[in-house]
Structure 1
Amino acid sequence: MTLLIRVLLLIAYGLFFLSTGTSALVAATLTAGVARIDITPPLEMQCPLGGYGERMNKPAEGIHDRIWAKAIVLTDGTQKFAIITADLLGFPFPFKEELVREVKSHGWESNQMMLLASHSHASIEMNAFHPGNTFGISQIGIYNPQVHQFTLANFKKLLLAADRQLQEAPVKVRIGTSRIQLEGWNNNRRKQGFTDNDLTLTRIDTATGKPMAVLVNFTAHPTFMSSRQMWFSAGWPGHLQRTLETLIGDEVTVMYYNGAEGDQSPRSRPHSGESRWEKAERYGVELAAVSHELWMATGTESNVEFRQHTVEFDLPPANWHPDFMQTGGKEYGLSTSLLQQMIPKLFAERSHCTTVQIGQLSITGIPGEMAAGMGAEIKRVAGEKLSVESPTIGGLADAWISYILTEEAWETGGYEASVSFYGPQLGPVVKQAALESFPLTGP
């Protein structure tokens, strides 16, 4: 075959993919920038802890361990994408839009980033930085403009710092992902149904082999601490990240993101002691040890597929579950008249799902707390459609809209259903959007 014929065939091949409107699988060497920022509010800011209405908006009394946000920005030279993880309960739905407005002049758009909260129940109260929270109800948290501006400013600094590193000192990276089944560490708290045992780890090294970043995905609520613990803490995910950073060394940045944890609880490790702080620490430290073994066994490669796709969708009309007044309503001190006023201000009408693929890893962002069985089905289809070995769910991505359940689970009721605010169709609607968010792979 002559050189001219080869060139003509390559051109025809490229034109075929352009004409079909699909993207060919083209592996590329990525460059990356990484940053982190301490987002622990000063105690004098009187920031409430989120996760339990029983705390009655009381401010944190101390700092057990500091809470962090971390970012990695990846680019193949034609597109870039930021993964941002944070030791937070969740993000109120206006927050990402606010962040995008802050960084738009620096070339950033909404579909170029994914915010992933760990769901720590000893971190910043989500409604403390929700500008629509004008109700002054202690059980749901009271809006604090100082906390709002502090948090927004820190996320802007974080993203721009990672982006600046990418621009000023770009580092070529090698990436690899591994997944194992880790049984006995979590369970389905509804006492039935599916438990997600996947531990998925993504290793990101420089081209010379120096550890740069690690992404860890494991599905369980960070709920060892109760409403009585009044110090800031990242919970067991914080211990996981710090310990794994120590084990690996080289100033590596470890970033944890949760999965479809709507019905998943952690199981205490043996001999953890009676203290809730001890239970959280032992869980995170031992999970870090397992993760370190997986990290050492994970190979990396320089040329990987890299793409993302976002689907926006309308949410069903927001309303409360018939069981809500006996569960969440009682915990949060709400009445029917208050709910009628609050829902239009606190709950979104539209949302989105984004899937990003990085080599053999895919992360499908879900804007809330999805039941693990639904998440497993999305992961299964992602593995087939994207031909990836390690599909994951990024739980609580970009916004907390509520718990996300199957129609059957919503109708059955219980705590998770009572804190699902868009009726029985929410689960099917979000699942469909998640499946449609997979990047196109070919004709």
Structure 2
Amino acid sequence: MLHTPAGIKPAPEQQPASRWYWLLLLLLLPACVVQRIDRTPYEQTEYYEQTLQNLKSHPATVSTGDTLQVGWAKVNITPPAPAPLAGYGKRMGMDYEEVHDTAWVRTFAFDNGQTEAYYVALDMLITPMRVLQELEKRYPELGLKPEQVYLSATHTHTSFGGWGRKAGMKIMTGQYEEEIVQQLTQQIIESIRLAGQNLQPTKIGYGSADAASLVKNRLTESREDRDTELRFIRFERPDGSAAVLSIFSAHPTILPSMQPVLSRDYPGVLVDELEERMDFAAFSAGAVGSHSAVYFHNATFESTEDVGARLATILRHALHEVKTDYVYTLGYNRVPLLLPEPQWRISKNLRLAPALFNWVFGKHPAYVTSLQLGDVVLLGAPADYSGEFMDELEHTAAQENLEVIATSFNGGYIGYITPEEHYNLDEYETRSMSFFGPESGTYLTHMLQLLLSQHDKPRMAPSATDKR
């Protein structure tokens, strides 16, 4: 065995080769983990072309049949305390210790004799991706396809979690619990069954009311770049029973993040107030990306009571102005939305490698969804979709002689979707939570517009009299 004399370093060629390998790895590692932002125009990409093909090969189902029948039902979905809260990473999976107000799934059923569809609103942060997967296994037992069930959530940041498997999701939603996922899936299925058993011929009317005093654009602080409308659909039956579905674009983030209490935030107050004077009410988050609620007290239940009650007052006044009528058209669709590689940013022009994002958050399918009731079309986005895009959607709807409502959180999640001009803002929504590049808002809005264009202005039924 050869030895190097003391005090004499080995010649470079005598150093172990593994040292050079490690040095090379250290030099290459940043290039593997950190990449430049891809700013390729989306119209030039393969994912855009494939989504266009998906839209062409998945036309909306739109039928004109007998008088539309409507049913509604709600099911308690609140896990017993303690259970994880969902909504803020700073909680690190904190459990709630008490329930301030119960979480529900509220479901509408629709049937015009030709087809049927369902609208589901969850008192949760989002519609969980794992729950969507489980629901798709269960739909066949109801004789349904996934596109017949329109999913939404209130987006309260103080409802239960436990439904995210990946590390990044666990930070936001707490430790994964399979029992919560399976129980919630069963409760949604039960609500669909119950609503379907409660069908009756029902008049429908669309309305909206200005609620500018209760919403702000927290990105720009501009009074112009806001969706200020409180939109709603009113349902009336011949026996006098009535229901309402309301949609608003302000984040339900009033309550303190570190308070270990489950609550529906202001949407719960709004719904409870409405149900004091009518048979059924439901709420879904609208285009909430970049929008938050305006409240005048501290971050307490006093503020949720105030915002919810004021919205209820605005809505009650508007309900009296809305004309309802029987409709005959029912439509729906769900189209796969292909995406670019994730662009999880660490600076203005640099992102982490897509593989790292997928390891933290997982890869989940995304869809754009729609539901047509007469001349009203609801569009579902898999994101915190910004209300700044509502003008574009409403312009497209007007060209089709339709009304449009946008909701978020339809069973997928692709982050915050805001206008391209905000992309370089060093804000939470545009830096940490903008996952798919500078044009994701323009791209998603374009696809929603194309989906909307698949829905026709409704025709009258062959007979103007109710066949039922």
Partner residue, 1:210: 241
CA RMSD of aligned residues (A): 2.7
Aligned positions, number: 395
Partner residue, 1:29: 67
Question: Normalising by structure 1, what TM-score?
Answer: 0.82
1:343 corresponds to which of 353, 358, 363: 358
Q: Distance in 2 between matches of 1:225 and 1:136?
A: 21
1:435 corresponds to which of 445, 449, 455: 449
CA distance 1:399–1:144, shift in 2 (3 Å): same
Shift of 1:302: 1.2
Work out whether residues 103 and 123 of structure 2, in 8 Å CA contact, stay in contact via their aligned partners in 1.
yes
1:410 aligns with 2:448: no
Q: Distance in 2 between matches of 1:23 and 1:107?
A: 16
Question: In terms of mean alpha carbon deviation, does 193-202 or 296-305 score higher?
Answer: 296-305
1:56 corresponds to which of 73, 77, 92: 92
Partner residue, 1:280: 304
CA distance 1:23–1:257, shift in 2 (3 Å): closer
Structure 2: which 5+ runs fail to align?
1-58, 458-468
1:356 aligns with 2:371: yes
Shift of 1:253: 1.4
1:392 corresponds to which of 405, 421, 432: 405
SS in 1 for 2:346: coil
SS in 2 for 1:397: coil
1:82-97 mapped onto 2 (5 Å cutoff)? 82-97=118-133
Work out whether residues 249 and 286 of structure 2, in 8 Å CA contact, stay in contact via their aligned partners in 1.
yes
Work out whether residues 60 and 230 of structure 1, in 8 Å CA contact, stay in contact via their aligned partners in 2.
yes
Partner residue, 2:381: 366
Shift of 1:342: 5.3
Larger radius of gyration: 2
Q: Distance in 2 between matches of 1:121 and 1:88?
A: 7
1:143 aligns with 2:143: no
1:219 aligns with 2:257: no
Structure 1: which 5+ runs fail to align?
1-20, 330-335
Partner residue, 1:14: none
1:308 corresponds to which of 332, 357, 369: 332
Partner residue, 1:253: 280
SS in 1 for 2:193: helix
SS in 2 for 1:49: strand
Which amino acid in structure 2 is aligned with residue 199 of structure 1?
A: L
Shift of 1:304: 4.3
Work out whether residues 348 and 401 of structure 1, in 8 Å CA contact, stay in contact via their aligned partners in 2.
no
Partner residue, 1:13: none
1:201 corresponds to which of 208, 226, 232: 232
SS in 2 for 1:286: helix
Partner residue, 1:111: 147
Work out whether residues 100 and 108 of structure 1, in 8 Å CA contact, stay in contact via their aligned partners in 2.
no
Identity of aligned residues (%): 24
Shift of 1:285: 1.3
Residues 216-252 of structure 1: per-residue CA shift (max 9 Å, x gap): 111100011121221110000000000011023xxx1
Question: Normalising by structure 2, what TM-score?
Answer: 0.78
SS in 1 for 2:276: helix
Which amino acid in structure 2 is aligned with residue 222 of structure 1?
A: P
Q: Distance in 1 between matches of 2:176 and 2:115?
A: 37
SS in 2 for 1:411: coil
1:129 corresponds to which of 159, 163, 180: 163
CA distance 1:119–1:414, shift in 2 (3 Å): same
CA distance 1:275–1:395, shift in 2 (3 Å): closer
Question: In terms of mean alpha carbon deviation, does 154-163 or 26-35 score higher?
Answer: 26-35
Shift of 1:72: 0.6
Shift of 1:408: 2.6
Residues 127-171 of structure 1: per-residue CA shift (max 9 Å, x gap): x213x42679546622122222222221122122222x15xxx31
1:47 aligns with 2:80: no
Shift of 1:307: 1.7
Residues 63-122 of structure 1: per-residue CA shift (max 9 Å, x gap): 111111100110111111100011100123342232121121220111001111110010
Residues 247-305 of structure 1: per-residue CA shift (max 9 Å, x gap): 23xxx110111111111111115xxx445110011110121121112122222111343
